[in-house]
């Protein structure tokens, strides 16, 4: 996937800004509090309709405004069905041709009585680049309203957005994945799975609905038990039994959806561990070994199938029902799951060094990148928010080599944090035109122009030739900017300006 254009209106410190983006690596350079992170935040919002920094839309509106808009245009590779069948000979020709990377052959058994394993219908799918758009807008006037659009079509639910655009963000605060409580680690896991399994996101939403209903009933039952102990006339045993029946129904719903969530989490935790182990081994030169333990409901084996997990959960809920009533909430379930991260059998949260914690988070992010690519056949956009200064040379080198084919957005305060070997300076196009290297190329024409007689036709032609040469040089600069693999942008007080490295 590749972002082609970013448009912001009243977003954070941007009044109105359009940024044309090229493939490859895009570096945003600027001092602190100028708006670099805001650009990455806007891009990441288009993956899940939520900022990675705040859960409040009001925080995203520019001071003095009453709405914001975030819009990205991006390009993705999709399999588009070619409406034709092909013979085995055609299949072999395509398979061995230069088009093999652009076409996918799907074998389908013919629906007739003569169908055999060898009697297959070959269907042709073409890998085609599609330009898509996502827009998120939030306004406070005349009423609070939040809208999401995909290619101009309004999406009714957030779940409709999930999976359309893929991005992975790595920021300094991600080390809190290790240091803080289970909620951050669950969110990391849930966002990763939701990007590639939209049904999982819907299951999470259902789980929260069922959990809320169950907790409401638990509170009602607790209050009714209190009324019974106080011999209150408001206590009605028939209503109490009816509420207990409702509790059983909601518990069954909760256990069923929870079993599916646990089963899915277990599968992807194994994948995360597999890729993260390899990444950490490279980062540490084989000196560190990562282990991830899935901590779910006590007594539940997440390696079982969904039906077995459901039975175990129902048994668990029945045993703790009275405790839940007294508490007025559900004491255990998927909403309390956690990931236990260890390096060399030491719990990272308690005994890991700062360097080990950063390396582990980096390994998790690289695993996330790999899993999304494997599951979707799309290379996700990678967002690196001021993380280079937090990494030593070895970790920085490994990170930069891990995403050679991905589009990357990097923010930094100093270009030397990313490319220490670069000794040049950044200039915009206007400054570049005034540099000596260009003035030398124009010196001969400048001398001629200084002597011209504007009333003379031939001298007017000389002036025209000079303008053509200057325009040609300007176009050459623009062409270099557009075809450079590494693209630079200077951020200052909420404005973005394309730069060129001399």
Return the residue matching tokens 């980096």. Answer: 362
Q: How confident is the model at residue 6 (pLDDT cuts 50, 70, 90)?
A: very high
Q: Are 435 and 427 in contact (CB under 8 A)?
A: yes
Q: Is residue 108 part of a domain?
A: no
Q: How confident is the model at residue 421 (pLDDT cuts 50, 70, 90)?
A: low
Pick the last residue of a domain from 360, 377, 394: 377
Q: What average pLDDT does the segment 301-312 reach?
A: 96
Tokens read off for 37: 């992170």
Q: Is the peptide bond before 142 cis (omega within 30 degrees of 0)?
A: yes
Q: Are residues 341 and 432 in the same domain?
A: no
Q: What does the pLDDT read at residue 185? A: 96
Q: How confident is the model at residue 335 (pLDDT cuts 50, 70, 90)?
A: very high
pLDDT over 70 at 179, yes or no: yes
Q: Is residue 119 part of a domain?
A: no
Q: Are residues 394 and 473 in the same domain?
A: yes
SS3 131: strand
Q: How confident is the model at residue 105 (pLDDT cuts 50, 70, 90)?
A: very low
**Count of structural domains, the chain:** 2
Pick the last residue of a domain from 335, 352, 377: 377
Q: What does the pLDDT read at residue 446? A: 53
Q: Are residues 314 and 429 in the same domain?
A: no
Residues 6+ apart with CB under 8 A from 182: 295, 336, 337, 338, 339
Q: What average pLDDT does the segment 343-355 reach?
A: 91
Q: How confident is the model at residue 108 (pLDDT cuts 50, 70, 90)?
A: very low
Q: Are residues 280 and 348 in the same domain?
A: yes
Separation between Cα atoms, residue 463 and residue 369, nearest integer Å: 55
Q: What does the pLDDT read at residue 472? A: 60
The closest of 342, 501, 362 to 435, measured between CA atoms, is 501
The closest of 387, 394, 393, 335 to 361, measured between CA atoms, is 387
Q: Are 340 and 293 in contact (CB under 8 A)?
A: yes
Q: What average pLDDT does the segment 100-116 reach?
A: 43
Return the residue matching tokens 């518990």. Answer: 251
CATH number, position 411 = 3.40.50.300
pLDDT over 50 at 301, yes or no: yes
Q: Are residues 153 and 10 in the same domain?
A: yes
Residues 6+ apart with CB under 8 A from 270: none
Q: Are residues 302 and 411 in the same domain?
A: no
Q: Is residue 87 part of a domain?
A: no
| 120-139 vs 67-86, strand pairing mode | antiparallel
pLDDT over 70 at 447, yes or no: no
474 vs 205: which has the higher pLDDT = 205
pLDDT over 50 at 92, yes or no: no
Q: Are residues 148 and 215 in the same domain?
A: no
pLDDT over 90 at 231, yes or no: no
SS3 293: strand
Q: Is residue 107 part of a domain?
A: no
The mean of the pLDDT values for the chain is: 82
Pick the last residue of a domain from 377, 398, 431: 377
Reported as a single tens digit per residue, the pLDDT across 57-77 is 999 999 999 999 999 999 987
Q: What average pLDDT does the segment 98-106 reach?
A: 42
Q: Is residue 319 part of a domain?
A: yes
Please tell me which of 110-124, 203-217, 398-412, 459-473 the model is most confident about, judged by mean pLDDT.
Answer: 203-217
Q: Are 40 and 383 in contact (CB under 8 A)?
A: yes
pLDDT over 70 at 54, yes or no: yes
Give Rg (Cα) of the chain. 29
Q: Is residue 447 part of a domain?
A: no
Q: How confident is the model at residue 178 (pLDDT cuts 50, 70, 90)?
A: very high
Q: How confident is the model at residue 449 (pLDDT cuts 50, 70, 90)?
A: very low
Residue-range definition of the domain harbouring residue 280: 178-377
Q: What average pLDDT does the segment 460-484 reach?
A: 54
Q: Are residues 257 and 343 in the same domain?
A: yes
Q: Are 126 and 80 in contact (CB under 8 A)?
A: yes
Q: Are residues 408 and 302 in the same domain?
A: no
Q: Are residues 41 and 54 in the same domain?
A: yes
Reported as a single tens digit per residue, the pLDDT across 155-167 is 999 889 999 999 9
SS3 164: coil
CATH number, position 326 = 1.20.1050.90
pLDDT over 80 at 129, yes or no: no
């Amino acid at each position: 996937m590749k972002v082609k254009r970013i448009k912001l209106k009243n977003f954070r410190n941007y009044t109105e800004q359009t940024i044309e983006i090229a493939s490859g690596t895009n570096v945003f350079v600027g001092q602190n509090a100028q708006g670099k992170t805001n650009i990455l935040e806007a891009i990441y919002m288009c993956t899940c309709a939520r900022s990675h920094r705040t859960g409040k839309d009001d925080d995203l509106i520019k001071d003095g405004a009453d709405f914001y808009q975030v819009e990205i245009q991006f390009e993705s590779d999709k399999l588009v069905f070619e409406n034709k069948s092909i013979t085995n000979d055609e299949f072999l020709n395509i398979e061995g041709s230069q088009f093999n990377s652009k076409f996918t052959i799907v074998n389908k058994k013919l629906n007739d009585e003569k169908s055999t394993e060898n009697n297959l219908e070959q269907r042709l799918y073409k890998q085609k680049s599609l330009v898509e758009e996502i827009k998120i807008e939030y306004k406070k006037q005349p009423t609070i309203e939040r809208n999401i659009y995909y290619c101009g079509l309004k999406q009714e639910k957030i779940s409709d957005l999930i999976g359309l655009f893929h991005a992975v963000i790595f920021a300094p605060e991600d080390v809190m994945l290790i240091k803080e409580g289970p909620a951050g680690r669950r969110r990391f896991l849930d966002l990763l799975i939701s990007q590639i399994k939209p049904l999982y996101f819907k299951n999470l939403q259902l789980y929260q609905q069922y959990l809320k209903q169950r907790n409401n009933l638990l509170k009602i039952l607790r209050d009714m038990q209190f009324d019974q102990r106080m011999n209150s006339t408001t206590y009605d045993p028939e209503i109490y039994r009816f509420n207990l029946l409702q509790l059983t129904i909601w518990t069954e719903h909760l256990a069923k959806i929870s079993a599916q969530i646990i089963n899915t989490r277990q599968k992807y935790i194994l994948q995360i561990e597999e890729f993260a182990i390899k990444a950490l081994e490279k980062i540490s030169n084989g000196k560190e070994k990562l282990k991830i333990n899935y901590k779910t409901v006590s007594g539940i084996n997440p390696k079982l199938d969904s039906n077995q997990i459901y039975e175990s959960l129902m048994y668990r809920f029945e045993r703790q029902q009275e405790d839940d009533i007294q508490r007025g909430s559900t004491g255990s379930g998927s909403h309390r799951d956690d990931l236990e991260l260890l390096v060399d059998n030491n719990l990272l949260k308690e005994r890991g060094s700062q360097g080990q914690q950063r390396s582990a988070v980096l390994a998790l992010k690289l695993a996330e990148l790999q899993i999304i690519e494997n599951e979707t056949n799309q290379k996700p956009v990678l967002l690196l928010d001021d993380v280079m200064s937090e990494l030593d040379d070895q970790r920085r080198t490994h990170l930069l080599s891990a995403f050679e084919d991905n589009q990357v957005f990097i923010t930094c305060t100093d270009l030397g944090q990313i490319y220490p070997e670069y000794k040049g300076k950044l200039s915009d196009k206007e400054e570049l035109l005034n540099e000596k290297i260009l003035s030398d190329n124009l010196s001969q024409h400048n001398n001629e122009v200084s002597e011209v007689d504007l009333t003379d036709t031939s001298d007017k032609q000389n002036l025209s030739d000079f303008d053509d040469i200057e325009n040609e040089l300007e176009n050459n600069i623009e062409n270099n900017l557009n075809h450079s693999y590494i693209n630079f942008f200077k951020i200052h007080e909420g404005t973005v300006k394309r730069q060129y490295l001399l």
